C-alpha cells in the first residue's frame, strides 16, 4: 500500500485500476457503442473540469487570501514553487476541459445548436459560452500576467504589481462565472433551467 501512495503517478493509476474493477464487478454496460464513447467523454470532461475549477478555487479561497499572512522571506516558496506548478495544471486542465466539452457536444449532436442558444440546448449553450470566456481569461489574461507577477518574465516593479492585480481580479471574475457556469452544466440533463 505505502509503495502506491508514496507516488502520485501510482496513486492515479490505482484509481484507474479501481474504476475498472468496479465496472467489472458491477457488470457495467460497457460496449463499443457511440453512447458509451459519449459517456466516457462526459466522464473525462468532468475530470478535467474538476481539476480546472478545483485549482481556480484553490487560488481564490486558499492561496490569494493566505499571501498577506506569509512573511516576505517565505513568499518565494509560493511564488517560485507552488504557484508555477498549480498554474501549469490550471491552464492545461482548462484547455482539456474545453476540448472534451466541445467533443462531448459534437458527439451529442448539438454543438452548433447549443452555441447558438437554440432550444432545447439553451442551458448547456449558456454554460459553454461562460466556460469559453473563462478559458479565454485563463490563457490570454491570467497566465500572461502571472508570468510577469511571478518573475517568469522579467518586467519593472510597477508593471509587475499591475500584472499581479489584473491576474487576481480576472481570477476573481472567473470564480464569479464558475457559479452560474456549473449550474448550466448540470442543468442541461437534469431540468434545472
Asked if residues 148 and 91 have their Cβ atoms less than 8 Å apart, the reply is: no
Least distance in angstroms from the C-beta of 116 to ligand HEM: 14
In the list 131, 142, 150, 163, the residue contacting ligand HEM (rule: CB under 6 A) is: 131
Query: How far is the CA of 104 from the CAs of 39, 42, 60, 109, 124, in angstroms?
Result: 9, 6, 28, 9, 11
Considering CB under 6 A, how many residues would be counted as binding ligand HEM? 24
137 is a contact residue toward ligand HEM (CB under 6 A): no
Q: H/E element holding 193?
A: none
Nearer to ligand HEM, 52 or 59 (CB): 52
On the 0-12 / 13-18 / 19+ scale of CB atoms within 10 A, 97 is: buried
CB of 90 to ligand HEM, least distance (A): 11
Q: Which residue is nearest to ligand HEM (CB)?
A: 101
Cell of 79: 511564488
Residue ranges in contact with ligand HEM by CB under 6 A: 42, 45-46, 49-50, 52-53, 97-98, 101-102, 104-105, 108, 124, 128, 131-132, 135, 182, 185-186, 188-189
Amino acid at each position: 500500500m505505502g509503495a502506491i501512495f508514496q507516488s502520485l503517478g501510482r496513486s492515479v493509476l490505482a484509481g484507474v485500476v479501481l474504476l475498472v474493477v468496479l465496472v467489472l464487478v458491477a457488470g457495467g454496460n460497457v460496449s463499443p457503442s457511440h453512447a458509451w464513447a459519449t459517456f466516457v467523454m462526459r466522464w473525462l470532461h468532468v475530470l478535467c473540469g474538476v481539476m480546472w475549477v478545483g485549482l481556480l478555487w484553490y487560488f481564490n479561497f486558499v492561496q490569494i487570501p493566505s499571501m498577506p499572512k506569509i512573511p516576505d522571506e517565505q513568499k518565494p516558496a509560493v511564488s517560485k514553487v507552488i504557484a508555477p506548478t498549480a498554474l501549469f495544471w490550471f491552464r492545461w486542465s482548462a484547455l482539456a476541459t474545453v476540448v472534451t466539452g466541445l467533443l462531448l457536444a459534437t458527439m451529442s449532436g448539438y454543438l452548433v445548436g447549443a452555441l447558438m442558444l437554440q432550444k432545447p440546448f439553451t442551458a448547456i449553450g449558456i454554460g459553454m459560452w461562460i466556460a469559453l470566456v473563462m478559458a479565454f481569461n485563463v490563457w490570454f489574461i491570467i497566465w500572461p500576467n502571472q508570468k510577469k507577477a511571478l518573475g517568469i518574465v522579467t518586467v519593472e516593479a510597477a508593471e509587475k504589481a499591475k500584472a499581479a492585480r489584473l491576474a487576481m481580479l480576472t481570477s476573481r471574475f472567473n470564480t464569479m462565472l464558475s457559479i452560474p457556469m456549473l449550474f448550466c452544466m448540470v442543468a442541461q440533463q437534469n431540468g434545472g433551467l
